[in-house]
Amino acid sequence: MPFNLGKYTELNSFLKTKNVTLVAVSKFQPLEEIQKAYNAGIRDFGENYAQELCSKFPALPDDIRWHFIGHLQTNKVKYIAPFVYLIQSVDSANLLKEINKQAKKAGRIIKCLLQLHIAEETSKTGFNEDEILKINYADYPNIEICGMMGMATFTGNEEILKNEFSKLRETFLKAKPQFPQMQILSMGMTDDYKTAISQGSTMVRVGSLLFGRRS
Ligand SMILES: *Cc1c(COP(=O)(O)O)cnc(C)c1O
């Protein structure tokens, strides 16, 4: 699954016109392909598995900003806490608590996004809106909540996608007063990033378009 420079160049110029940040999703990609993407100018990479991330981190340039985007088990937080740039997939108060604890141990303030459950599929994780509005930010001094993330239903139905993304943006706007540093709205992947951007996305997480379909 080789890194596709042509696709990247095209995507990058589109995202620039929209002022949207690209996170290249590099799960299951070998180091050489990630290095090629880095050489093309990408600095933000997203990984889904703590173990995979921990093995890639020391082998690649240290100015890479590593985003964690998969479901994170509390017992894995300690492995990524020393170096992770942004944990996008925070989906429970328990996880917030553990990230805060490990961030403190590492002498860091860790940036996080709150994941909202917006899809129809129950397999996708995330907070619901009420849970987000109930978070007491002061309980987590070593966490900076920078925004929200969501994954839409796996569907080609434009209306469903639009509704889910706009729901995410609505909750983002509601929660904003509670989290003064909130500005990132991470939504959109290979198949739905254009719809996500039309609904206010400021960050997309794109894998297959750049690296080819994962096997
Ligand atoms: C795998 C993954 C992506 C990227 O998906 P593509 O369809 O390959 O662009 C984005 N976000 C999350 C949370 C993922 O797990």
Ligand 1 residue neighbourhood (C-beta within 6 Å): 25, 27, 48, 69-70, 151, 189-191, 205-209
Residue count (the chain): 215
Q: Is residue 215 part of a domain?
A: no
Atom 11, ligand 1: which residue's CA is nearest?
205
Q: Is residue 180 part of a domain?
A: yes
* Ligand 1 mutation pick, 28, 29, 67, 69, max ligand atoms within 8 A of CB: 69
What is the domain range of residue 61?
5-209
CA of 107 to the centre of ligand 1 (A): 30
What is the pLDDT confidence band of residue 122, given thresholds at 50, 70 and 90? confident
**Which one, of 19, 23, 24, 20, lies nearest residue 1 by Cα?**
24
Residue pLDDT, tens place only, 7-66: 999 999 999 999 999 999 999 999 999 999 999 999 999 999 999 999 999 999 999 999
* Residues whose CB falls within 8 Å of the CB of residue 107, separated by 6 or more in sequence, listed in order: none
Residue pLDDT, tens place only, 156-206: 999 999 999 999 999 999 999 999 999 999 999 999 999 999 999 999 999
Q: What is the pLDDT of residue 215?
A: 64
Atom 15, ligand 1: which residue's CA is nearest?
70
Q: Let me know: does 53 contact 66? Beta carbons within 8 Å.
A: yes
Q: Is residue 214 part of a domain?
A: no
DSSP labels for 67-96? EE-S---GGGHHHHTTT-SEEEEE--HHHH
Q: Is residue 53 part of a domain?
A: yes
Q: Is residue 178 part of a domain?
A: yes
Into how many domains does the chain fold?
1
Residue pLDDT, tens place only, 62-91: 999 999 999 999 999 999 999 999 999 999
Q: What is the pLDDT of residue 120?
A: 80
Q: What is the CATH number of the domain that holds 15?
A: 3.20.20.10
Ligand 1 atom closest to Cα of 23? 10
